[in-house]
């Protein structure tokens, strides 16, 4: 195939007209053939510019020897710059946490708990410890890449929570102990706590070795967890300074049915 040294193009309504010296027919090629590299050059050059074929010299061949070839291009929608996304991060994402998330987790937890009770369920070293041993028992809620809420848990292998359950992860256990649920101060009063908790319970339900979830909380929070399917099993054996807690448990069987009837 011979190409003119300078290819002229024009566009109208999504149609690209290219002038070639002659059509080409060959094995597997029917009708006029136009190489992709030249098409890309022409299209990038715009509607009035000329695209120079690499390595070619200016031709004295007249334009009357050229044969027009019409290429029909799929119409492309034009998106206004003001309507385009200014970022590529998902608007809302749920994923397990990693040790790299520990500092952000602790900042949210410290603000949420120390201002109220003066203590944190987990401190920074504890967070890193559990996110290293059992990251699959955690869940973070991210909005545009920013952590807004989280849960951290570990496995426990006894019927009730004890003082040891605060710091240990027992891989052979069937109970997921929820150490902490916290929401960033700017995202509170938006219903994020119940949504995150239900997603976490659903996440636990996909792990065949986990049969139930357990947690301890102060008396004022008991109704919240009961609305989400947890049942009180009485006072917790764990105490932190002057603080006492109620222990609640949730069987992961029929958990979806509980959600439908909980109004949570």
Of 179, 197, 204, 252, which one is the catalytic site residue? 179
- Strand order of the β-sheet with 231-240 is 93-95, 138-143, 146-156, 175-183, 212-217, 243-251, 231-240
Q: Is 168 a catalytic residue?
A: yes
Of 204, 215, 225, 248, which one is the catalytic site residue? 225
- Strand order of the β-sheet with 9-12 is 9-12, 15-20, 67-72
Q: Is 16 a catalytic residue?
A: no
Q: Is 3 a catalytic residue?
A: no
Of 131, 139, 155, 181, which one is the catalytic site residue? 181
Beta-bridge mates of residue 10:
17
Q: What is the DSSP letter of 29?
A: B
Of 168, 174, 187, 221, which one is the catalytic site residue? 168
Beta 212-217 vs 146-156: how paired, if at all? unpaired
Angle between helical axes of 192-205 and 255-262 (0-180°, round to 10): 160
Tell me if 229 sits within 8 A of 201, measured CB to CB.
yes
Minimal CA–CA distance to 15: which of 78, 70, 77, 76? 70
Of 154, 161, 196, 203, which one is the catalytic site residue? 154
Residues recognised as catalytic: 154, 168, 179, 181, 225
């Amino acid at each position: 195939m011979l190409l003119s040294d300078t290819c002229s193009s024009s566009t109208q309504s999504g149609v690209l007209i290219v002038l070639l010296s002659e059509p080409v027919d060959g094995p597997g090629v029917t009708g006029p053939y136009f190489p992709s590299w030249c098409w890309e050059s022409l299209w990038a050059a715009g509607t009035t510019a000329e695209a120079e074929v690499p390595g070619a010299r200016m031709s004295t061949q007249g334009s009357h020897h050229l044969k027009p070839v019409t290429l029909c291009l799929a119409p492309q929608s034009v998106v206004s710059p003001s309507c385009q996304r200014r970022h590529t991060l998902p608007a809302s994402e749920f994923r397990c946490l990693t040790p790299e998330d520990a500092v952000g987790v602790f900042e949210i937890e410290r603000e949420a708990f120390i201002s109220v009770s003066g203590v944190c369920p987990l401190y920074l070293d504890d967070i890193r410890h559990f996110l290293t041993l059992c990251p699959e028992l955690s869940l973070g809620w991210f909005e545009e890449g920013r952590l807004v809420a989280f849960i951290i848990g570990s496995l426990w292998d006894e019927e009730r929570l004890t003082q040891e359950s605060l710091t240990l992860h027992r891989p052979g256990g069937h109970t997921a102990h929820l150490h902490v649920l916290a929401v960033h101060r700017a995202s509170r009063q938006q219903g994020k706590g119940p949504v995150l908790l239900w997603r976490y319970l659903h996440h636990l339900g996909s792990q065949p070795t986990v049969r139930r979830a357990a947690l301890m909380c102060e008396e004022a929070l008991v109704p919240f967890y009961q609305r989400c399917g947890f049942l009180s099993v009485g006072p917790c054996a764990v105490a932190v300074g002057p603080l006492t807690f109620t222990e609640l448990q949730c069987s992961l069987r029929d958990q979806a049915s509980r959600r439908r009837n909980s109004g949570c």
